[in-house]
Amino acid sequence: MTVKTNISDDKKVLTIVIEESFEFSQYQIFRDAYSEIDVIGIKFILDLSKAAFMDSSALGMILLLKDHADKLSGELIISKPSVMVNKILEIAQFHKLITIQR
């Protein structure tokens, strides 16, 4: 798993790109990508377009990110999951909790 981040010029949007697989073993790197951010009203975009695989613990990690966004009165958007990853998100009923842009 590779985690890349990109913050917009106005510091209001943080894009987190997950490459290869999204799984628990790299929890620390994933958490480091956003834990220092404290901008009120921030928008997190979790770009999963390059993630071929996701396991169930990644679902927990997404909820932690969502919790962080909620604390900052911000927003979390999951962007472009692959067919398989989207299926996992659907099984977990994440579309009821988080905006998923296909």
Q: Using the rule CB under 8 A, is 37 a contact of another protein? A: no
Query: Which distant-in-sequence residues (6+ apart) come within 8 Å of 17 by Cβ?
Result: 3, 4, 5, 6, 47, 49, 50
Reduce the DSSP state of residue 41 to 3 states and report it.
Answer: coil
Q: Using the rule CB under 8 A, is 57 a contact of another protein? A: yes
Among 63, 72, 77, 80, binds another protein (CB under 8 A): 63
Q: Using the rule CB under 8 A, is 96 a contact of another protein? A: yes
d(CA 32, CA 48): 17
State the CB neighbour count (10 A cutoff) for residue 61: 20
Count of chain residues binding another protein (CB under 8 A):
23
In this chain, which stretch among 6-14, 27-35, 37-45, 73-81 interacts with another protein, using CB under 8 A?
Answer: 27-35
Q: What is the dihedral of CA 25, 8, 13, 5, to 10 degrees?
A: 0
Among 7, 64, 72, 77, binds another protein (CB under 8 A): 64
**Which positions lie near another protein, rule CB under 8 A?**
23-24, 27-28, 31, 53-57, 59-60, 63-64, 67, 83-84, 88, 91-93, 96-97
